[in-house]
Amino acid sequence: GAVSASMVTSLGCQYVLCGHSERRTVFKDDDEAINKKVLKIIEGGMIPVLCIGETKEEFDANLCESVCAIQLAKDLAGVSAADVKTMIIAYEPVWAIGTGVAATPEQAQETHKGIRDWIAKNVDQTTADEIRIQYGGSASAKNAPELSACPDVDGFLVGGASLKPEFAEIVSAIAKAKEVGVKADHADVKAAEALLVQLKEESKQAEHFMRSSLLPSGLLPRAKAKAKTDGRGAGGGAGGVDANMP
């Protein structure tokens, strides 16, 4: 975004997004600007999370591999192999972000492998083997298990689902799918499962609080009765109260 690297560092942040589709499209960040941000983040001692991916038009034209290769070449210009190795690459097909339509496991694996092959060819094989390549774009608890099973999908860059209890399920899915991760980080898997239980309980408590705060005793029944008298359904017309509201 438009926050200085020194300010972000002062807050204790370790990872910074670069090249997110909204910055590319809304703020018109080109690859030259993104490359400068990547280098500045590294200079500030933080780790860039480089977002790359194609638009719907580019996807339909079968240009996914070419678009990602061009973005990688330009956005990583001047970045050392040592720094690339510690970075995170996030493949985010623009057409999947916030749409509820995610890439299929086959599509994600093909693109992630293409990214890893590009790094092996243009940086080195060791870096390609060790760098983390995440998938972003309507990742959810429903599709996380299948996407996690892809050998070149190392994790997820989660958007809207990170604000929901299902986030813990996504974390658990990727941890369980990667055999090494399950063996080495069994405690983390258990922690993710415990977090899921905690989040679900907190969600119930929040819902109860909202209901008790926004709907004082007798308000909902009166609203329903008034709506019926007015000839409207509960929630119809201005000032209607939806019976399903929290």
What is the tally of helices (H) and strands (E) in the chain?
13, 5
Any catalytic annotation for residue 20? yes
Report d(CA 84, CA 10) in Å as an integer: 23
Contact assessment for residue 94 and residue 53, using Cβ atoms and an 8 Å cutoff: yes
Looking up tokens 């997004």 gives 17
Q: Measured on CA atoms in the order 28, 17, 44, 12, is the torsion positive or negative?
A: positive
Q: Catalytic: which of 54, 92, 166, 169?
A: 92
Report d(CA 205, CA 230) in Å as an integer: 34
Report d(CA 31, CA 71) in Å as an integer: 7
Any catalytic annotation for residue 208? no
Report d(CA 246, CA 232) in Å as an integer: 20
Contact assessment for residue 54 and residue 24, using Cβ atoms and an 8 Å cutoff: no
Q: Which of left, alpha, beta for 212 (phi over 0: left; psi -120 to 50: alpha)?
A: alpha
Report d(CA 30, CA 52) in Å as an integer: 12
Q: Catalytic: which of 20, 54, 112, 169?
A: 20
Q: Where are the beta strands (DSSP E) in the chain?
A: 15-18, 47-52, 88-91, 132-135, 155-156
Residues designated catalytic: 20, 92
